[in-house]
Amino acid sequence: MITLRRELAMALVISGAGVVVIGALALVATALTLRGDRAAPIAAACALALVLGASFQALRRYRTRAGGRLRMARALAQEERSPLPAAARADILGAVETWWLLGGRVDGPSRVSSRELAEAYVEQVDERMRRLVTQPPLPPLRPRILIPPALALAFAGLVTIPAAIRDAAPLLLSAADGRPQPPPAPLWSSLSLTLTYPEHTGRAPRRVENPSGALRLPHGTELTLDLQPQPGSAELVLLVHRDQGSLGDPAPTVRPLERGDDGRLNASFKVEGPGAWSVAATVDGIERSSPPYPLEIEPDAAPEVELLPLPGGARSPSELDTVELRFRARDDFGFAAAELVIARGDDETRLDVGPPPPGRSWNHRYRWDLSQMPLEERTELEYWIEVRDNDPQLATPGAERPGKVTRSTRMRLSLRDREAEHAANIEGLRELRDAAVDHLATRMLTPAFDRDGERSPITRLDEARSLHADAGDLLATIATMLDRLAVDPLTRERDTTILGALHGRLRPIFIDEERLHERVPVGAAVDAPGRARSLLASLVGVNDRMIRQLEDEIIRLDDLVDNQIVERIETLVARIEASQR
């Protein structure tokens, strides 16, 4: 049964679905444009139009259907949007009118020519229409056609930008404009900043016109503002905000802007830490403030230093050598000093390596005179380079000097005590001289070559062989001393040459004596005393030659030892005088 309530309920359902779709589309549009002030009234107008249109269509359909079958047939015949063909709609209207004429419910001709023919026509149309009963006689409501694509579009928007949808809902409900508000007009028509950097940075002052964004400056930079205020501005002040981290932001420091003769305002402050600065003023009776301009501190890190290792041949010098040390250093702004630190146990000695160059990098060679070290025993040392940058601030509370210090890698140095080695060599020469004197005395006093003695030839031959062995030991000692003096840097080459020549003169005599002894092997003269006497007679001349040569060489050895001792004493005296000066 067709009722007005049913038509209005259907219109209400359609309107509700349409309102939901309109709201979703409005939410998506607000998320994309942030214009809730535009989307809200448009959505409300569309929803109202949808409700009114659906209600009007419901009333129209109810009126059409409630007027009876004849009225519905006439409306159907005039409906061009109906899915039924025009001929079918005309047949329906003709059948309904014929049926009503037969029943006398409408005015028409007073007589129907053939009632049977009219009834057959009505039945024929009725049968044909029953086959078309699946097609609705009237067109569907237009809002129903728009609902599915609108729902799909709204769902796609809600799924694609969920975060923006969440932020757009308050804007749509409050009909607010969510676009960022344009910044207020600046308080000045022109602004320039003069940056005066600290002296240790080595930077020239810089001027920045109409700055924007954050400034990254070294600690202690002086920032000077010079601005031309807008007309109507009065009582401009500079606000300096300091960032205290977790302690919270304290109240800003207020500095007045002084007006110059040219009408421009200026003020200055020193950057002591991160924060921001802004300008506040009263414009046309309204208090205004410029956006804050952040200030960041450019870090001044500790310097970097690399001490290069010594070559392999220079890692074991003597205490009188000079070692060349090389190091590389780098810092953000420059250096104040560098020191060579020498440690032996708990004692540390510091030597200044020279003034640093201007700039941020330093490649330096330092000649380290080991003889100037105030150390009595020089064995193994640790050393490193300490570089201090030119930061005027104290690196740690209680530090003696400003600046940050960096240590290089610790290196080890093994020292050779050449003076002790030289003294041992002199003592060895003295012992060699004494051994030569003792050997000479033994040869001069031996009874081995005395023919008139009471000793047997075998006993005297054994004593002669013992003298020959002692001579070999003496020559071996001379060769050992030659090797030691050859590597002693404190021994002059002339002294080594003298000792070598001495060895060269004694050795041929020793070889001649050895050849004579080889004529009679050891033990062969026991049963042949005559061979022993003959050998001893031959050895007399060689022994005399050795005695004469030893007398000369001992004099030379004595002079060599005396010269070595005198030179050592002179060297020590010169060093003492130099240290006293």
Q: What is the pLDDT of residues 545-561, one digit of tens each?
A: 989 998 998 898 888 88
For residue 97, is it within any domain? Answer: no
pLDDT at 152 over 90: no
pLDDT at 112 over 60: no
Instruction: Identify the CA nearest to 560 among candidates 483, 444, 481, 475.
Output: 481
Whole-number Å distance between alpha carbons of 418 and 339: 27
Mean of the pLDDT values across residues 282-303? 82
- Give the mean pLDDT of the chain: 79
Phi-psi region of 202 (alpha: psi -120 to 50; beta: other; left: phi over 0): left
Q: What pLDDT is stored for residue 423 in this prediction?
A: 84
Q: 508 and 527: one domain?
A: yes
Q: What pLDDT is stored for residue 194 in this prediction?
A: 93
Specify the DSSP element, H or E, that contains 195.
strand 188-196
For residue 179, is it within any domain? Answer: no
Q: What pLDDT is stored for residue 355 in this prediction?
A: 92
For residue 566, is it within any domain? Answer: yes
SS3 435: helix
Percent of all residues in the chain with a pLDDT value above 90, rounded to a whole number: 19
Q: 549 and 450: one domain?
A: yes
Whole-number Å distance between alpha carbons of 420 and 323: 20
Q: What pLDDT is stored for residue 101 in this prediction?
A: 63
Mean of the pLDDT values across residues 565-570? 81
Mean of the pLDDT values across residues 15-37? 78
526-550: pLDDT as tens digits: 566 677 778 888 888 888 998 999 8
**Which carries the bigger pLDDT value, residue 121 or residue 208?**
208
Query: Among the three residues 359, 392, 416, which one is the final residue of a domain in this structure?
Result: 416
For residue 314, is it within any domain? Answer: yes
Mean of the pLDDT values across residues 506-511? 91
Q: What is the domain count for the chain?
A: 4
**Which carries the bigger pLDDT value, residue 248 or residue 151?**
151
Q: 278 and 390: one domain?
A: no
Domain range for 400: 304-416
Q: What pLDDT is stored for residue 114 in this prediction?
A: 63
Q: 377 and 489: one domain?
A: no
For residue 167, is it within any domain? Answer: yes
Give the CATH number for residue 348: 2.60.40.3550
- Cα torsion angle, 50, 53, 56, 62, sign: negative
Q: What pLDDT is stored for residue 149 in this prediction?
A: 67
Q: What pLDDT is stored for residue 402 in this prediction?
A: 86
For residue 180, is it within any domain? Answer: no
Q: 63 and 145: one domain?
A: yes
Q: 13 and 159: one domain?
A: yes
Query: Among the three residues 416, 445, 475, which one is the final residue of a domain in this structure?
Result: 416
Whole-number Å distance between alpha carbons of 273 and 243: 7
pLDDT at 575 over 80: no
Mean of the pLDDT values across residues 124-144? 59
Whole-number Å distance between alpha carbons of 550 and 507: 11
Query: Among the three residues 277, 297, 317, which one is the final residue of a domain in this structure?
Result: 297
Any idea which of 169-173, 278-282, 394-398, 454-458 has the lowest mean pLDDT?
A: 394-398
Whole-number Å distance between alpha carbons of 269 and 254: 11
Q: 394 and 456: one domain?
A: no
Q: 467 and 495: one domain?
A: yes
Q: What pLDDT is stored for residue 308 in this prediction?
A: 92
Question: Predicted confidence band at 153 (pLDDT cuts at 50, 70, 90)?
Answer: low
Whole-number Å distance between alpha carbons of 356 and 362: 7
Please name every residue paired with 274 in a beta bridge, in sequence order, or none if there are none. none
For residue 332, is it within any domain? Answer: yes
Q: 23 and 156: one domain?
A: yes
Q: What pLDDT is stored for residue 1 in this prediction?
A: 41
Mean of the pLDDT values across residues 509-524? 82
Q: 564 and 529: one domain?
A: yes
For residue 70, is it within any domain? Answer: yes
Give the CATH number for residue 483: 1.20.120
471-493: pLDDT as tens digits: 999 999 999 999 988 888 778 88
Q: 311 and 391: one domain?
A: yes
Q: 399 and 426: one domain?
A: no
Q: How many CA atoms lie within 13 A of 458 on its CB side?
A: 8
Rounded to two decimals, what is the model's pTM? Answer: 0.50
Whole-number Å distance between alpha carbons of 495 and 557: 10
pLDDT at 351 over 80: yes
Query: Under 8 Å CB-to-CB from 308, ≥6 apart: which residues?
Result: 325, 326, 327, 328
pLDDT at 222 over 90: yes
Q: What pLDDT is stored for residue 110 in this prediction?
A: 45
Question: Predicted confidence band at 89 (pLDDT cuts at 50, 70, 90)?
Answer: low
